[in-house]
Amino acid sequence: MAHHNLAAQLDTLERDGLLRRRLTLEGAQGAHVSVDGREYLAFCSNDYLGLANHPRLIEAAIEGMRRHGVGSGASHLVTGHNIAHDRLEKKLADYVQLPRALLFSTGYQANIGAIAALVGRESAVFSDKLNHASLIDGVRLSRAEAVRYPHGDTAFLEQALAKSTARQRMIVTDSVFSMDGDIAPLPALLDLAERYDALLLVDDAHGFGVLGPQGRGALAHFGLRSPRLVYVGTLGKAAGVAGAFVAGSPDVVETVLQRARTYIFTTASPPHLATALEASLELMQAENWRRERLRDLVAGLRAGLRGSNLRPSDTPVQALVVGGNAEALALSDAIRDRGILVPAIRPPTVPEGTARLRISLSAAHELADVARLVDALHATLPETPKLATVT
Ligand SMILES: *Cc1c(COP(=O)(O)O)cnc(C)c1O
């Protein structure tokens, strides 16, 4: 009767510093947010380009709602597929320079749906140890043999691929690792995929809109093209709205459409999200200043925190590793007392003993905002004894 232990289990979580608490935003997402009647400077969202509350997107959503209604009313394969979805899919494919794209309601659904659609019992999936939970769950659901390789270790991966006798192979990886901000060695991974007859699924949740010329994503960043690539972009982060898409060769995309259970057995997302996303794509392409601003903010933060346990990262995801859960929470709380929100990320989201502050930067931030964060951290860091001992 495990449910009788729920209260005790929750107590244990609390004691271990692992109880999660939600913040309730009273207004829109942005560089400044309102929580419990107080305004905070926030470094918490994945709204990297600062588009989540942009007037052009809001207008496009309202216009889309007038034209197409509020709800899609059915799944894509019944009658939920709207011309707004269709147009967006074509624009997404053009933007990431792949033959075809298929829209999903969330990135979580796109990943688990695509993996389980493309591999099965007789396959093996090779997965970076720091991959996002949705990739891990997709591999589980696919029933393929799961082989996890140490973070970024392409030599280990090559040995595992060479040993594999599975009928089909797929490598899956985050492009930008969500809790560290480093970039996967995609050219080396694609080279291995080609040499060992594997597909390569790239989850570009944190690269889409951020990396590459005009924000076209991680594949464009490295100039990679291959029919073996399965690309997943998410639309709730840099794109500022919600949703995701799987892109790749026509055969890959059609197979996902035919087989992905998270595509088939769910209601299509409201069409006005697609019209908002069309407006978002235009700004993402046109407004390079947003990515230039991000680069300046990253440089400013890293210069200000030189000598700390900031993980190597050139992306808007910057991880300040603290170590213990209680210490990470204490640092987050101390910063919060100064009017700044930075989340403490703890296991199981990150490995045991590597609890951290995950600082995420947005084009909505000013350089002065980063300076304020740096000052607050300098004023607070000496109070967290573990910081100096963890690397
Ligand atoms: C956020 C995220 C997802 C899930 O995308 P949602 O659209 O939020 O469901 C998938 N992969 C990675 C790496 C992510 O960070």
Here the CATH number for the domain that contains residue 97 is 3.40.640.10
**DSSP letters of 25-51?**
BSS--SSEEEETTEEEEE-----TTS-
For residue 243, give the ligand 1 atom closest to its CA.
7
Could you tell me if residue 179 is inside a domain? yes
Pocket test for ligand 1, best of 237, 266, 269 (most atoms within 8 A of CB): 237
Q: How far apart are CA 69 and CA 81, in angstroms?
A: 13
Could you tell me if residue 387 is inside a domain? no
Match 């709602």 to its residue by tokens.
Answer: 65
Distance between Cα 112 and ligand 1 center (Å) = 11
Query: Which pLDDT score, from 0 to 100, does residue 348 have?
Result: 87
**What torsion, rounded to 10 degrees, do the Cα atoms 145, 147, 148, 149 define?**
-160
Q: What is the CATH number of the domain that holds 35?
A: 3.90.1150.10
Q: How far apart are CA 182 and CA 98, in angstroms?
A: 24
Q: In what order do the strands lie in the sheet with 340-341?
A: 32-35, 38-42, 340-341
Q: Do both 95 and 240 map to the same domain? A: yes
Distance between Cα 205 and ligand 1 center (Å) = 6
Q: Do both 299 and 165 map to the same domain? A: no
Helix pair 186-195, 154-163: axis angle to 10 deg: 10
Q: How far is CA 175 from CA 233, 278, 354, in A?
A: 10, 23, 21
Distance between Cα 108 and ligand 1 center (Å) = 6
Q: Do both 346 and 326 map to the same domain? A: yes
Is ligand 1 within 6 A of the CB of residue 131? no
Query: Which pLDDT score, from 0 to 100, does residue 18 have?
Result: 83
Q: Do both 276 and 349 map to the same domain? A: no
Q: Which of 224, 115, 181 is nearest to 361 (CA)?
A: 181
Distance between Cα 27 and ligand 1 center (Å) = 23
Closest C-alpha residue for ligand 1 atom 6: 107
Q: Do both 315 and 359 map to the same domain? A: yes
Closest C-alpha residue for ligand 1 atom 3: 107
Q: Do both 222 and 321 map to the same domain? A: no
Is ligand 1 within 6 A of the CB of residue 358? no
For residue 46, give the ligand 1 atom closest to its CA.
1
Could you tell me if residue 390 is inside a domain? no
Could you tell me if residue 14 is inside a domain? no
Is ligand 1 within 6 A of the CB of residue 234? yes
Pairing assessment for the beta strands 198-203 and 168-174 based on DSSP bridges:
parallel
Q: Do both 187 and 215 map to the same domain? A: yes
Q: Do both 250 and 343 map to the same domain? A: no
Closest C-alpha residue for ligand 1 atom 2: 205
Q: Do both 172 and 282 map to the same domain? A: yes
Domain boundary among 286, 308, 336: 286
Domain assignment of residue 298, given as a range: 23-49+288-380
Q: Do both 270 and 296 map to the same domain? A: no
Q: Do both 251 and 307 map to the same domain? A: no
Query: Which pLDDT score, from 0 to 100, does residue 4 have?
Result: 74
Could you tell me if residue 231 is inside a domain? yes
Domain boundary among 258, 286, 314: 286
Q: Do both 114 and 127 map to the same domain? A: yes
Pocket test for ligand 1, best of 46, 92, 130, 132 (most atoms within 8 A of CB): 132
| pTM score | 0.95
How does pLDDT run across 321-376, given as a tens digit for each residue? 999 999 999 999 999 999 999 999 999 899 999 999 999 999 999 999 999 999 99
Query: Which pLDDT score, from 0 to 100, does residue 20 have?
Result: 86
Below-70 pLDDT ranges, the chain: 1-3, 382-391
Closest C-alpha residue for ligand 1 atom 8: 107
Could you tell me if residue 343 is inside a domain? yes
Distance between Cα 10 and ligand 1 center (Å) = 26
Q: Active-site residue numbers?
A: 178, 206, 237
- Please tell me the total count of domains within the chain: 2
Distance between Cα 239 and ligand 1 center (Å) = 12
Query: Which pLDDT score, from 0 to 100, does residue 17 have?
Result: 79
Cα torsion 150, 313, 138, 328: sign: positive
Helix pair 288-304, 271-286: axis angle to 10 deg: 70
What's the Rg (C-alpha) of the chain?
A: 21
How does pLDDT run across 233-269, given as a tens digit for each residue? 999 999 999 999 999 999 999 999 999 999 999 999 9
Q: Which of 211, 204, 212, 217 is nearest to 131 (CA)?
A: 204
Q: How far apart are CA 41 and CA 380, in angstroms?
A: 16
Could you tell me if residue 16 is inside a domain? no
Query: Which pLDDT score, from 0 to 100, does residue 3 have?
Result: 63
Query: Which pLDDT score, from 0 to 100, does residue 108 have?
Result: 98
Query: Which pLDDT score, from 0 to 100, does residue 382 have?
Result: 64
E-assigned strand segments in the chain: 32-35, 38-42, 100-104, 123-128, 145-149, 168-174, 198-203, 229-234, 244-248, 317-323, 340-341, 344-345, 355-360
The structure tokens listed for 365 are 């931030």
Domain boundary among 234, 252, 286: 286
Could you tell me if residue 329 is inside a domain? yes
